[in-house]
């Protein structure tokens, strides 16, 4: 009996050819796994194609809830965006798919798992590293990285082996999509100066239909739980927000990004829900976190973003940071109102049960004011003491010299 390999199967050309290649070249019996992460494809049709193409069994998993709840929302609570902009949709899906592959491999007694990543991207690293962390005993095979075929050769291979090549409109882009976002690369986008053509976008509209809209997002301890007052399951909330914010053109990101494998690459993302939720969550934190907590948490956000991007989801650092993030979110409950329109989302209001914003401290209305103005004098006296001491002892810095500006002075009595 030949050894088994579980292949992460999307139904596309690469992984369809991979089914046959794994059998033919490496002698594996192939089991496929297709995870539904909300990319709106017919997963049952995909599984049927896997069987037609030669898989001995084809698993389909609805992983939308787990994906949003256990991968995306914790990343949102962390405030993590890679290089400050990318909500990490593709990067977050990889460790989940790796875990699903490992689960099926164990159940099916497989000795290997396989994925369809190329040798140039981040995804191969994420899969390989995640599987290694979860199941070091499993081999990881990457047919597309190993075979020496371009697209035309693959199409030819498919024809030769009677593999029914998916009849997709041959997109000039490489696209990966799930509920948290859509990643687009290649084609004309490889020129970082070229404006992304309209056909890059599928989730975000910019035509006149996008009048202004107002939404309200509710959070409980840092997790989004409602939209416009209606409590929703995580995957439902994100799906609706993608539709609503996308209709207003919100969520486009155009970024030159630093890949883990050392190259810069131009990426275009559509992530309406993720963009709105990060904005809303940040607004709620501004009410509920102390200043020093907010400042420190930014470092954690950057670390989290980097480690997710780098495929280290199953590392000890993420687990430790998650403990920190969770501790920061206890009081991040409340709601945020945003105005959407013309490609922008703007926060226009926020409220929280445990808000640190205190009207009687913030107000400029003297009759309501509880802030001790007199105490400010003493506070400043001590706060400024080090600088006064510095100038007294060490002399003033250069910027104490008069600035070289043109000055005109008029004195009373001048003509």
Q: How far apart are CA 41 and CA 83, in angstroms?
A: 30
Nearest approach in angstroms of CB 177 to ligand ARG is 9
Which tokens belong to 248? 């207003």
Question: With CB under 6 A as the contact rule, which of the stretches 168-176, 214-222, 289-297, 347-355 interacts with ligand ARG?
Answer: 168-176
Among the listed residues 4, 49, 94, 126, the single catalytic one is 94
Nearest approach in angstroms of CB 371 to ligand ARG is 47
Q: Are 22 and 143 in contact (CB under 8 A)?
A: yes
Provide the terminal-to-terminal Cα distance of the chain, rounded to the nearest Å. Answer: 107
Q: Which residues contact 71 (CB under 8 A, 6 or more apart)?
A: 92, 93, 95, 96, 313
**Residues 109-148 vs ligand ARG: string with x where CB under 6 A?**
-------------xx-------------------------
Question: With CB under 6 A as the contact rule, which of the stretches 52-60, 172-180, 226-234, 310-318 interacts with ligand ARG?
Answer: 172-180
Q: Using CB under 6 A, which residues numbered 251 to 310 contact ligand ARG?
A: 257, 267
Q: Which helix (H) or strand (E) holds 254?
A: strand 252-258
Cα 359 to chain centroid distance, Å, stands at 35
Query: Which listed residue (15, 183, 329, 335) binds ligand ARG by CB under 6 A?
Result: 183
Q: Are 127 and 10 in contact (CB under 8 A)?
A: no
Nearest approach in angstroms of CB 123 to ligand ARG is 6
* Residue among 235 and 270 whose Cβ is closer to ligand ARG: 270
Q: Is 235 in the site for ligand ARG (CB under 6 A)?
A: no
Nearest approach in angstroms of CB 173 to ligand ARG is 8
Based on its alpha-carbon atoms, the radius of gyration of the chain, rounded to whole angstroms, reads: 27
* Residue among 91 and 97 whose Cβ is closer to ligand ARG: 91
Q: Annotated catalytic, 123?
A: yes
Question: With CB under 6 A as the contact rule, which of the stretches 50-58, 170-178, 208-216, 383-391 interacts with ligand ARG?
Answer: 170-178
Q: How many Cα atoms within 13 Å fall on the side-chain side of residue 155?
A: 7
Query: Which listed residue (61, 85, 175, 347) binds ligand ARG by CB under 6 A?
Result: 175
Helix (H, G, I), strand (E, B) or coil at 116: coil
Cα dihedral 33, 39, 44, 45 sign = negative
- Site size for ligand ARG, by CB under 6 A? 11
Q: Annotated catalytic, 106?
A: no
* Residue among 271 and 352 whose Cβ is closer to ligand ARG: 271
Q: Is 154 in the site for ligand ARG (CB under 6 A)?
A: no
Nearest approach in angstroms of CB 264 to ligand ARG is 11
* Residue among 246 and 311 whose Cβ is closer to ligand ARG: 311
Q: How far apart are CA 271 and CA 80, in angstroms?
A: 14
Q: For the residues of 352-404, what is the DSSP string, one character each?
A: ETT----HHHH---TTT--S-HHHHHHHHHHHTHHHHHHHHHH---GGGSPP-
Question: With CB under 6 A as the contact rule, which of the stretches 148-156, 173-181, 321-329, 330-338 interacts with ligand ARG?
Answer: 173-181
Q: How far apart are CA 71 and CA 74, in angstroms?
A: 6
Helix (H, G, I), strand (E, B) or coil at 243: helix
DSSP code of residue 207: S
Among the listed residues 2, 62, 151, 174, the single catalytic one is 174
Among the listed residues 14, 36, 128, 176, the single catalytic one is 14
Q: Which residues contact 170 (CB under 8 A, 6 or more apart)?
A: none
Q: How far apart are CA 47 and CA 58, in angstroms?
A: 5
By C-alpha distance, which of 234, 267, 220 is closest to 71?
A: 234
Query: Which listed residue (90, 223, 242, 288) binds ligand ARG by CB under 6 A?
Result: 90
* Residue among 81 and 163 whose Cβ is closer to ligand ARG: 81
Q: How far apart are CA 252 and CA 270, in angstroms?
A: 5
**Which spans of this chain sit near ligand ARG (rule: CB under 6 A)?**
90-91, 122-123, 174-176, 183, 185, 257, 267
Active-site amino acid positions = 14, 94, 123, 174
């Amino acid at each position: 009996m030949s050894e088994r390999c579980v292949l992460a199967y999307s139904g596309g050309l690469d992984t369809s050819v991979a089914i046959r290649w794994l059998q033919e070249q490496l002698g594996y019996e192939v089991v496929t796994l297709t995870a539904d992460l909300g990319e709106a494809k017919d997963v049952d049709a995909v599984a049927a194609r896997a069987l037609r193409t030669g898989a001995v069994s084809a698993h389909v998993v609805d992983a939308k809830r787990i994906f949003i709840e256990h991968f995306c929302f914790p990343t949102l609570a962390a405030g993590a965006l890679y290089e400050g902009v990318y909500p990490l949709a593709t990067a977050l899906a990889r460790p989940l798919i790796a875990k699903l592959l490992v689960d099926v491999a164990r159940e099916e007694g497989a000795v290997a798992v396989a994925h369809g990543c190329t040798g140039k991207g981040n995804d191969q690293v994420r899969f390989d590293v995640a599987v290694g962390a979860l199941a070091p005993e499993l081999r990881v095979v990457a047919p597309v990285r190993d075979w020496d075929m371009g697209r035309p050769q693959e199409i030819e291979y498919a024809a030769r082996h009677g593999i029914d090549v998916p009849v997709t409109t041959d997109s000039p882009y490489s696209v990966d999509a799930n509920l948290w976002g859509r990643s687009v690369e290649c084609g004309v986008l490889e020129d970082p100066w070229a404006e992304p053509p309209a056909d890059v976008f599928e989730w975000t509209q910019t035509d006149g239909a996008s009048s202004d809209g107002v939404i309200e997002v509710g959070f409980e301890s840092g997790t989004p739980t409602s939209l416009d007052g209606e409590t929703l399951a995580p995957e439902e909330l994100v799906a609706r927000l993608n539709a609503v914010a996308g209709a207003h053109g919100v969520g486009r990101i155009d970024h030159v990004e630093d890949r883990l494998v050392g190259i810069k690459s131009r990426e275009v993302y559509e992530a309406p829900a993720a963009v709105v939720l990060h904005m809303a969550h940040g607004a709620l934190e501004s009410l509920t976190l102390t200043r020093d907590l907010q400042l420190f948490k930014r470092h954690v956000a950057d670390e989290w973003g980097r480690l997710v991007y780098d495929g280290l989801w199953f590392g000890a650092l993420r687990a430790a940071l998650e403990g920190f993030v969770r501790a920061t979110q206890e009081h991040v409950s409340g709601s945020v109102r945003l105005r959407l329109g013309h490609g922008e989302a703007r926060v226009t209001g926020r409220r929280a049960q445990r808000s640190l914003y205190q009207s009687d401290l913030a107000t400029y209305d003297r009759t309501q004011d509880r802030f001790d103005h007199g105490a400010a004098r003493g506070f400043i006296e001590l706060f400024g003491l080090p600088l006064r001491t510095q100038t007294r002892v060490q002399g003033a810095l250069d910027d104490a010299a008069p600035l070289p500006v043109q000055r005109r002075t008029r004195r009373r009595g001048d003509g």
